Amino acid sequence: MRHAHHPGQGTQRGGGARAGGNYFRWTVGLLAVAAAYTFGGQARCPGGRASGSGATACDVCAAGTFAEPGSSSCAPCAPGKYSYNESASCADCAAGGFSGSGATQCEVCGPGRYTDESGLPSCGLADAGYFVDPDDPSVEKPCPAGTSSGSGSTGCTPCAPGTFSGEGDPTCTSCGQNEVSAGGSTECDPCPEDYFSEPGASVCEQCPSRTSRPQNETACIAKPRDNKNTRRQRRRNRTTLILVLSIIGGVLATIFLLWACYLLPCRGPSAGNLCVHYISDVQLHSVRTNPLPREPLSASAILGHNILVLTISGQFGL
């Protein structure tokens, strides 16, 4: 007798077959893994993980360490590098920062220190004549002219009066003799003539009395005094001048007398021919033989002549 077929019963028998198949596959997989470990076919740890001998799982590398794929242990990062958890390699610290061994992050360089390359284990000290800006520790910068700095500086100091400096100079240099400068100077200015200064001075001083300093001299020297020859020459020159002025005065006086005797009329009978007393015999003869009628010189003309002669004589020591 054939039993009737019920769909539900058939379905239950099919589900059991599938469950048995899955169990079989799992069993085969476990056996394959066991066989792989047994016969040397173990799995390789990925990067950032490591395992020792006989391990059944890979350990995650901590921050500050790394492991390449297949590593047996996590290694610390070298100085100048850092890493996070489960890192396959370490990264370089950027310029301006540094790190020690096994670092989890980089530190910024301290005041007056810098790193101008990536991956450096420590910061360098700024050289004398240079400085490091705290906002940019990746480079050292030269001090501008007129300033200076020591090593490890974060800024530059202006030069004191009497000194100067160029760009990047570690110290300010004193001005030389007969040179001066104000504070923060890039060069020294020379003292003018008849002024002097000691080295490192900021102000020029005038030479003492009876001394001078030409530009080609380094110190004030006594002014040269007149010697006998110089005084004798001055007296000779003065005498020559007086003689020349006396001759000129005589010529002018003669011209005045001739003008007075021949051109001015006599205004009083008491004056007479007074002009004859101020001219030579030749001139007197020419007056007496002059066919033109001439009147005697007036008293006012004679007085004017005397005043002129006295003035010229008093002026030039005649």
DSSP state at residue 103: B
Structure-model confidence comparison of residues 317 and 74, the more confident one = 74
Tokens of 78: 């070298």
pLDDT of residue 299: 47
pTM, two decimal places: 0.55
SS3 breakdown of the chain: % helix, strand, coil, rounded to 5? 30, 15, 55
**Confidence (pLDDT) at 243:** 87
**What is the rounded average pLDDT for all residues in the chain?**
77
Range with lowest mean pLDDT among 12-26, 109-123, 177-191: 12-26
**The predicted structure's pLDDT at residue 66:** 97
Cα–Cα distance between 135 and 274 in angstroms, integer?
A: 109
Contact 88, 68 (CB under 8 A): yes
Residue 138 above 90 pLDDT?
Answer: yes
Highest mean pLDDT among 49-63, 149-163, 219-233, 265-279: 149-163
Alpha carbons 178 and 219: distance in angstroms, whole number: 8
32: part of which helix (H) or strand (E)?
helix 7-38
> Which residues on neighbouring strands pair with residue 163, listed in sequence order?
174
What are the extents of the domains in the chain?
48-123, 228-316
Tell me the per-residue pLDDT of 250-305, one tens digit each, with 9 for 90 and over.
Answer: 888 777 766 666 555 544 443 444 444 334 443 433 343 333 344 444 444 544 54
Question: Residue 41: its pLDDT value, please?
Answer: 57
